[in-house]
Structure formats: structure tokens, C-alpha cells
Amino acid sequence: MLVSHDERVPIARLLTFLEHGERMAHDCAKAQAALSEDSRTRRFLLNQAKQEAMHARVFQGAIAWLAPKHLRDAPFLPALEDYRRILEDALARRDLMETFLLSDLFESIAEDPAAWAQDVRNFLPEWLREETIAVSRS
């Protein structure tokens, strides 16, 4: 893949966000394993944590290649930090099922954010849709 000089930093910033998400996924899977009472589930979650850590390392390598000065950037993304707080709260309450649901939600967003956003729009109540709000403001 050819990357022009002016594309390096924006791509590195995107990869930094993805690396941050993978680190969160690693921490979550590791904490879920500690909460799980079933040995097979625990083993699966520990393997999942390893896989998420490997993903983060791959993103780190790409960032180092594209824009080394951005390697240890820690993006502050309010929505991601809100998600982290909700997840940490569920972990603190030892609510394993809620953490699974939150993890699955995050993975579905990460797989295809545009499709997820469209699904959300499809299921929003009429009164909450952007076009309805815009009309009511007029």
C-alpha cells in the first residue's frame, strides 16, 4: 500500500484510536476471565486478551512506521472514555453478563461503524430522529 507523506499523520491518528480500543478490549477480557467461574470460559477469555494485545502491537508497529512521533499518543475521546467508565463500573460490580454485552456492542461498532450508525438511525424513535428535530426547530 502506498501512503503519501501527507496521509501518514491522519492514518497514524486513526491507528492510535484503534490501538486504544484494542488495549481496552485486552483489559476487559483479562478482567472478565478473572470474574469467570468456568475454566473453559476463563481460558477462552485469556486467549481473547492475548489476541487483543497482539492487535494493539500490530497497530503500534504501523504507527511507528507511519509517524513515529505519534507512537505513544493517548487520544482523549469522550465517548470512548464514557464507554470505559461504564465497563469499569460493570466490572467493579462483578456483572459479567453486562461486560459481555458491552464488549459485544463495542466489537459491533468497531467492525463497521457506518453500518452500526445506520442501524441506530433505523431503530431511533421518530421524535429523536435528526430530521424531525430539525423540522421542529424551524
Residue 42 CA to residue 108 CA, distance in Å, equals: 22
Report pLDDT digits (tens) over 96-115. Answer: 999 998 888 777 776 776 77
Whole-number percent of the chain with pLDDT over 90: 41
Number of domains in the chain: 1
Specify whether the CB–CB gap between 95 and 86 falls below 8 A.
no
**How many CA atoms within 13 Å lie on the side-chain side of 126?**
2
Specify whether the CB–CB gap between 102 and 90 falls below 8 A.
yes
**Residue 19 reports pLDDT greater than 60:** yes
CA pseudo-torsion sign 113, 116, 118, 124: negative
Lookup: cell for 75:
487520544
Work out the angle between the directed axes of helices 8-35 and 96-111 (0-180°, nearest 10).
160
Containing structural domain, residue 37: 5-137
Residues 130, 133, 134, 136, Cα dihedral to 10°: 160
Report pLDDT digits (tens) over 25-59. Answer: 999 999 999 999 999 999 999 999 999 999 999 99
Place of cell 503500534: 60
